Amino acid sequence: MSFKRVLNIIFYREPNDRIDLFKIFPRLKRFFKRRRLHFLIRTIGDLVFAFIILVGLFGPQDPGRNCILFLSWGLWWPTVVLSWFFVGRMWCGFCPFPGAGRIVQRLGLTFNLPIPPALRRYGIHWSVALLALIIWIEESTGIKESPRGTALLLLAILSGATFSAVFFPKQAWCRYLCPMGRLIGVASTLSLTEFRPDHEKCRTCKTFACKRGAEGIPGCPVYLGAFNVRNNLDCLVCGHCIELCDKDSPQLNLRNPFTELITNKGRFITCSYIIPFLMGSQLTRFFEDGGLAIHARYASAWPGQMIIYSAVMVAGFLYAHSFIRFGANLFGITEDELFGKFSPMVPIFVPMAFAGELAYRLGYAFTSAQDFLPTMGRQFGIGCLEELGFHVPTWAYPAIDLPVMTIGTIAGLFVLHEFVNEDFEGLVSVSRYRAIQVLILLMACSYLFLMGTTWRI
């Protein structure tokens, strides 16, 4: 594998080229195929997760004396966000939320009911609603300063996954209802890697063991099977199919990160729902965390603050949605004879949306990391740790936000360029092309302006 070829793939000179990392790194494939290490990592994650919940529920409730706040909001969540850009949904293969459900199913304490058609059809709506609820709770209730509140939120998600496992086989929660999984799936369309089968090999398969399972080995936990995977939205990259496939079909490919965005063109309802909401919630979070915050300024009691915050979040969503609608009208093409209706502005704004999420989470991580070791020292009586606090300089925040948002904006402009000059060449006028570019830059300026209010320089 030459370095030049890697650069060509990543920077889109060879958009249809892939590098199968399983061939380059055979140990990586063995890691997925031999489940022991995978199981060990997942078990450690489950134990850490249980520790966070127990310490949150029964440990000190003073934020300055309980380290689980940083572990949850300042370390775990930003790490998950960073993973989206490199390994897609692979984190979902190690997620601790289905852990208790797997134990319940192994004990036979499940009804194994068929998946209801309503869940298949409307799961996307419910999962996005749950994501909205989680972000609303996170930002309007001060839960990031409450160890017990944080633990209860995690416990609520864990309970949802567990109850789902009691009623339905495998991991119905992960496929249809998990709000984080839905978010990670959309983010993974921008990933440098993809998990795909060799469809030519799959055509000769007679058993479809990757989906059904075989010889006591369970099949795909989210009812897909490798042969059905054509994008990064639903596959957990858990590796079950590698052990089951006798055709050596599954591949973990290095690819250009924009390939899926350009191919999908925002035609999946998951992306169309998540992106405007995520962007609106981010603008709201920067607005309320900075000097423009009004929920604390105009309401002293928490019910009033929550109402005001809700109104601002709705306004943020409508603001982001208006950019997407107006941009689509300028683009002028929202239906293709091959794959039907699509939303051209959704894939254009995907990089900016997840750049905004990364900037927000990293900003919180930097802020909360300053007092993590002293907090741990106070909690567990380790005096030497109490002296290890540090101060993050104010210039560090724009030093993070500006490059991240610049990259997200350039990426969005690149996707637009590919649409106008490749996929829909000659169908979008130069004036409309320039107008959409201005629209993208205006959204980037909106982000940077609101981010600037949080820097406090």
Mean pLDDT across 68-85: 94
Residue 268: predicted pLDDT: 83
Give strand pairing partners of 340. 336
Distance CA 356, CA 275 (A): 11
Is the pLDDT assigned to residue 12 strictly greater than 60? no
Is the pLDDT assigned to residue 13 strictly greater than 80? no
Mean pLDDT across 233-255: 92
State whether residue 34 is helix, strand or coil: coil
154-174 per-residue burial string, b: 16 or more CB within 10 A, e: under 16: beebbebbbebbeebbbbbbb
Would you state the torsion angle of the CA atoms of residues 161, 164, 170, 173, taken in this order, to the nearest 10 degrees? -50
Residue 236: predicted pLDDT: 93
Q: Which two three-digit tokens encode residue 405?
A: 């948002």
Distance CA 69, CA 48 (A): 13
Number of helices (H), then strands (E), in the chain:
21, 5
Distance CA 145, CA 1 (A): 48
**To which H or E segment does residue 60 belong?**
none
Residue 159: predicted pLDDT: 96
User: Which backbone phi and psi does 428 adopt, to 5 degrees?
Assistant: -115, 120
- β-pairing, 19-20 vs 251-254, is antiparallel
Residue 399: predicted pLDDT: 95
Is 110 in contact with 165 (CB distance < 8 Å)? yes
**pLDDT tens, 373-392?**
999 999 999 989 988 999 99
Closest CA to 116 of 164, 161, 157: 164
Beta strands in 149-260 (DSSP E): 193-196, 251-254
Distance CA 251, CA 195 (A): 6
Residue 223: predicted pLDDT: 93
Is 50 in contact with 57 (CB distance < 8 Å)? no
Neighbours of 147 (CB within 10 A): 25
Mean pLDDT across 173-195: 94
Q: Which two three-digit tokens encode residue 217?
A: 């080995």
Which amino acid is residue 403, in one-letter code? P
Distance CA 187, CA 67 (A): 28
Residue 378 to residues 63, 374, 386, Cα–Cα distance (Å): 11, 6, 7
CA atoms within 13 A on the CB side of 280: 24
With a pLDDT cut of 70, the percent of the chain lying above it is 93
Q: Which two three-digit tokens encode residue 39?
A: 């199981």
Residue 215: predicted pLDDT: 81
Distance CA 372, CA 129 (A): 32
**pLDDT tens, 17-61?**
788 999 999 999 998 888 888 889 999 999 999 999 999 999 999
Enumerate long-range contacts of 9-15, CB under 8 Å, 24 or more apart: 9/254, 9/255, 9/256, 10/192, 10/254, 10/256, 10/257, 11/256, 12/256, 12/258, 12/259, 12/414, 12/418, 14/256, 15/256, 15/259, 15/262
Residue 79 to residues 73, 91, 374, Cα–Cα distance (Å): 10, 10, 22
Is the pLDDT assigned to residue 451 strictly greater than 80? yes
**pLDDT tens, 124-148?**
999 989 998 998 888 878 899 999 9
CA atoms within 13 A on the CB side of 11: 6
Least confident of 154-158, 188-192, 333-337, 417-421: 333-337
Mean pLDDT across 110-135: 92
Q: Which two three-digit tokens encode residue 115?
A: 């998946």
Distance CA 379, CA 70 (A): 13
Average pLDDT, the chain: 90
Which amino acid is residue 78, in one-letter code? P
**pLDDT tens, 281-314?**
999 999 888 766 665 555 556 677 778 888 888 9
